[in-house]
């Protein structure tokens, strides 16, 4: 209703999440509203701050929702259906997968279309964000004096080093689109003590959940063989939430590009998208439960994400123009979903087809 306020729920499903709703339907309106959501990320990186620009993601999500509300309140004529606009604050994208926890808690139930936008070095309606699996590996050996009687020990650091090297050898047989990267978080206590405990943390990435399962098996064999070679015990623990690859929605992407071009956004070519690689995001999991759009936008800097230079760029005044322009393009796309006949059904069709295709690969 014109002038109606947002209904805000702090600590929504998670302690650091929130939800804000506004709608055009009045009390007692029998119409089932079209539910459109905008997502806000706001977590940062340890030591680097907003080196992935999540401050701008939050700004874009909130600004797009406010713009859509203002447009629906304007006297241009009523929408063909009742509309509910939702803003979801989604924490912990960088570690843990807050959106996945929110999915499990039912936060995305009933939503029709979900939007967010991510800062980058270029403008793209879609980039192939890949599936990702976290794994923590712990080796348990036996301590002993490293000089007096090392033969009495079982060296857990040897196991960690062998595992690291096993993965390095595996790289020759890895597909160009696979990624394995990690750190040794615990490598022992002192040089004169045979390490009885070591710990590694690795991230595994592949273009699809099917390929990710193949890569995971190969990597776990590398960890297990290192334990066997050294006589250590090994504990392999996967992260609680796997990040799924982002499912493209061609109908939403097409409309977003049309709107972006009207605002002066210059998009990279389809060839650049196909040949490019991106990171991973828990928005991928969202695209398996509701149609979604996850474009990338230039912020006026060539700095790379997850660097100190990008932290500075994301907090600059220059980035504001690009962020707000992106928010406007998202709001315009949401208006098209509301007002253009048949578009919503096309979006839903794309969603169903991509989901069936992906699940057919995972569960043939």
- DSSP-assigned states of every residue in 23-75: ES--TT--SPPEEEEEEE----BTTTBSTT-HHHHHHHHHHHHHHHHHHHHST
Which residues, 6 or more positions from 289, have their beta carbon under 8 angstroms from its beta carbon? 103, 108
Instruction: Name the residue among 137, 126, 260, 128 with its Cα closest to residue 201.
Output: 137
Which residues, 6 or more positions from 114, have their beta carbon under 8 angstroms from its beta carbon? 36, 37, 38, 39, 108, 286, 290, 291, 292, 293
Which residues, 6 or more positions from 322, have their beta carbon under 8 angstroms from its beta carbon? 119, 297, 298, 299, 300
Q: Where in the chain is the domain with CATH 3.40.630.10?
A: 7-128+246-362
Q: Scanning the structure block, which residue is given the tokens 């991928």?
A: 284
pLDDT at 273: 78
Which residues, 6 or more positions from 350, have their beta carbon under 8 angstroms from its beta carbon? 248, 249, 250, 251, 252, 291
Q: Scanning the structure block, which residue is given the tokens 């992906």?
A: 358
**Torsion sign, CA atoms 34, 296, 48, 311:** negative
pTM value is 0.88
* Fold that domain 7-128+246-362 belongs to in CATH: Aminopeptidase (3.40.630)
Coil, helix or strand at residue 142: strand
Do residues 83 and 33 make contact, with C-beta atoms less than 8 angstroms apart?
A: yes
Long-range contacts from 4-10, C-beta under 8 angstroms, 24+ separation? 6/87
Query: Which residues in 156-174 are b (16+ Cβ under 10 Å) and which e?
Result: bbbbbbbbbebbeebeeee
> Distances in Å between the alpha carbon of 276 and those of 34, 54, 194, 210?
34, 22, 45, 20
Nearest-5° angle of CA 132, CA 19, CA 345? 70
Q: Quick one: tokens of 86?
A: 């939702």
Q: Quick one: tokens of 202?
A: 């690795």
CA 77, CA 69: separation in Å to the nearest integer? 14
| Environment class of 36 (CB within 10 Å of its CB; exposed 0-12, middle 13-18, buried 19+) | buried
Q: Quick one: tokens of 93?
A: 């994208």
Rg (CA), the chain: 24
CA 154, CA 198: separation in Å to the nearest integer? 12
Per the DSSP assignment, residues forming a β-bridge with 236 are 137
Instruction: Name the residue among 217, 195, 213, 89 with its Cα closest to residue 142.
Output: 195
Q: Quick one: tokens of 227?
A: 């334990």
Do residues 261 and 267 make contact, with C-beta atoms less than 8 angstroms apart?
A: yes
Q: Where in the chain is the domain with CATH 3.30.70.360?
A: 131-238
Per the DSSP assignment, residues forming a β-bridge with 298 are 120
Coil, helix or strand at residue 60: helix
* Fold that domain 131-238 belongs to in CATH: Alpha-Beta Plaits (3.30.70)
**To which H or E segment does residue 292 belong?**
strand 292-293
Q: Tens-digit pLDDT profile for the chain (364 aa)? A: 445 789 999 999 999 999 999 998 766 666 789 999 999 999 988 889 898 989 999 999 999 999 999 999 987 667 778 999 999 999 999 888 999 999 999 999 999 999 999 999 999 999 989 999 999 999 999 999 999 999 999 999 999 999 999 999 999 999 999 999 999 999 999 999 999 999 999 999 999 999 999 999 999 999 999 999 999 999 999 988 999 999 999 999 999 999 999 999 999 988 877 776 678 999 999 999 999 999 999 999 999 889 999 999 999 999 999 999 999 999 999 999 999 999 999 999 999 999 988 877 654 4
């Amino acid at each position: 209703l014109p002038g109606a306020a947002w209904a805000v729920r702090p600590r929504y499903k998670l302690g650091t999440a929130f939800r804000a709703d506004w709608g055009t339907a009045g009390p007692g309106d029998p119409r089932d509203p079209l539910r459109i959501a905008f997502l806000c990320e706001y977590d940062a990186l340890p030591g680097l701050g907003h080196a992935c620009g999540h401050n701008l993601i939050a700004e874009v999500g909130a600004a797009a929702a406010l713009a859509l509300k203002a447009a629906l309140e304007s006297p241009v004529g009523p929408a063909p259906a009742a509309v509910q606009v939702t803003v979801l604050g989604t924490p912990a994208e960088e570690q843990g997968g807050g959106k996945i926890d929110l999915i499990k808690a039912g936060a995305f139930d009933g939503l029709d279309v979900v939007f967010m936008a991510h800062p980058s070095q270029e403008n793209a309606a879609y980039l192939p964000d890949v599936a990702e699996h976290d794994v923590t590996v712990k080796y348990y050996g036996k301590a002993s004096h490293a000089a007096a009687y090392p033969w009495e020990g079982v060296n857990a650091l040897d196991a960690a080093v062998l595992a690291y090297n096993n993965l390095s050898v595996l790289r020759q047989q890895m597909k160009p689109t696979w990624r394995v990267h990690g750190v040794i978080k615990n490598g022992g206590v002192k040089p004169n003590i045979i390490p009885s405990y070591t710990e590694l943390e690795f991230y595994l990435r592949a273009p699809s959940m099917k390929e990710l399962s193949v890569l995971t098996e190969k990597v776990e064999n590398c960890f297990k063989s290192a334990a066997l070679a050294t006589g250590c015990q090994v504990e392999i623990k996967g992260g609680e939430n796997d990040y799924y690859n982002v499912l493209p929605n061609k109908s939403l992407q097409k409309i977003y590009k049309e709107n972006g071009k009207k605002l002066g956004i210059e998009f990279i070519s389809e060839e650049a998208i196909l040949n490019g690689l991106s990171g991973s995001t828990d928005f991928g999991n969202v695209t398996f439960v509701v149609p979604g759009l996850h474009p990338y936008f230039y912020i006026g800097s060539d700095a790379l994400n997850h660097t100190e230079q990008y932290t500075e760029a994301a907090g600059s005044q220059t980035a504001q123009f690009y962020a707000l322009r992106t928010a406007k393009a998202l709001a315009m796309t949401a208006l098209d979903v509301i007002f253009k006949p048949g578009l919503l059904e096309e979006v839903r069709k794309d969603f169903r087809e991509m989901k069936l295709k992906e699940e057919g690969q995972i569960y043939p």
